[in-house]
Amino acid sequence: MTTQAIFTQLHTVEDFTRWAASEFNRADLYFGHGTDNAWDEAIVLVMFGLSLPVSLFEQTKTCKISDDEKQYLMGLFEQRIEKQLPAAYITNQASFAGLSFYVDESVLVPRSPIGELINNKFAPYVSANKSPSRILDLCTGSGCIAIACAYAFPDAEIDALDLSLDALNVAQINIEGHGLLEQVIPIQSDVFSSIEQQKYDLIVSNPPYVDQEDVDSLPVEFMHEPEIGLGCGHDGLDIVREILSQAASHLNDEGLLICEVGNSQVHLEAQYPEVPFKWLTFEYGGHGVFLLTKAQLEQYADIFNQRTVKR
């Protein structure tokens, strides 16, 4: 169908959404960066192209679209299909823990199940009458975990660490956008290297953890994300091993480490069969997030240190 034919036959918000969703399905695109199906992805792009919030789709779906708007929407659809760009990179918008964030190809698109933990203020693992006063978001990327934690714990001081300066620039945009300049501090650091004397009540980390086998089989959409944020060694655990060996020295007494390893959970359990990782469960989907206390990290310190591989 030519562009002119499309313009002649499609008129409303819903028309364009339905057509785009069909084209996305025909193109066999992958959905996993904010949506999980072609229809929702089409809604995101159509409403973005019309400068309207997604929440207004039902109220506006019968509204007619101008020719200029149609042309703009076609450009967005072309980026999604021809370049296989995730919608979040086309719109530079992503949602995490009910909050909106700027994203670009310097950072992963936020999608961690840790968002559910933050919305629940890490209950029951963190006591409601003993909120953390210092929180570390390790491998912060867009800053989404640090910022969401700032909303959950408005009295906490939060450090947001990342090795990538490009990622930290994105985090800074989000910190400023949420008005949290005095509460969330972005710091360039290779794991804990820049905070040697600092201690926290809670360390939260969504580090690179994808193993090489999974990296080699990822859909094209993931190739637009920074490689440094995805894979980390043959089993995906090079940085996770460093976190396990060093986290205890950066936790206050009764402090907690919460870390995501996704599908590499199988590798972690195989490598540390002696360690009683607590694997957290999620109401809204997700897996591969463990919790260890400072006491446990200290108890198994010899094992963690022995099996840490220098990068």
> What does the pLDDT read at residue 120?
96
> What does the pLDDT read at residue 309?
64
179/277 same-domain check: yes
164/202 same-domain check: yes
215/259 same-domain check: yes
pLDDT averaged over the chain? 94
The verdict on residue 311 lying in a domain is no
The verdict on residue 127 lying in a domain is yes
298/209 same-domain check: yes
Considering only CA atoms, give the Rg of the chain.
21
* Ranges under pLDDT 50 in the chain: none
Domain end point (choices 35, 59, 91): 91
Q: In this predicted model, what pLDDT tens digit does every residue of 154-168 receive, in sequence order?
A: 999 999 999 999 999
% the chain with pLDDT above 70: 97
The verdict on residue 99 lying in a domain is no
Domain end point (choices 39, 57, 91): 91
Q: What is the pTM of this model?
A: 0.93
> What does the pLDDT read at residue 195?
95
CATH code for the domain in which residue 40 is found: 1.10.8
The verdict on residue 97 lying in a domain is no
Two structure tokens written together for 250: 């950066």
The verdict on residue 290 lying in a domain is yes
CATH code for the domain in which residue 278 is found: 3.40.50.150
298/152 same-domain check: yes
124/250 same-domain check: yes
168/241 same-domain check: yes
CA quadruple 294, 297, 301, 303: dihedral, nearest 10: 180
CA distance 206 to 228: 13
229/153 same-domain check: yes
Domain that holds residue 133: 106-306
7/123 same-domain check: no
The verdict on residue 98 lying in a domain is no
Number of separate domains in the chain? 2
Locus of tokens 């809204």: 284
Domain end point (choices 45, 61, 91): 91
Q: What angle do CA 210, 280, 306 make, to 5 degrees?
A: 55
The verdict on residue 101 lying in a domain is no
Two structure tokens written together for 56: 């207004």
HEC string of the chain?
CCHHHHHHHCCEHHHHHHHHHHHHHHCCCCCCCCCCCHHHHHHHHHHHHCCCCHHHHHHHCCCECCHHHHHHHHHHHHHHHHCCCCHHHHHCEEEECCEEEECCCCCCCCCCCHHHHHHCCCCCCCCCCCCCCEEEEECCCCCHHHHHHHHHCCCCEEEEEECCHHHHHHHHHHHHHCCCCCCEEEEECCCCCCCCCCCEEEEEECCCCECHHHHHCCCHHHHHCCHHHCECCCCCCHHHHHHHHHHHHHEEEEEEEEEECHHHHHHHHHHCCCCCCEECCCCCCCCCEEEEEHHHHHHCHHHHHHCCCCC
186/261 same-domain check: yes
The verdict on residue 238 lying in a domain is yes
115/81 same-domain check: no
Spatial CA neighbour of 60 closest among 96, 11, 105: 11
Spatial CA neighbour of 256 closest among 131, 168, 151: 131
277/229 same-domain check: yes
> What does the pLDDT read at residue 310?
62
List 95's β-bridge partners, or say none: 100
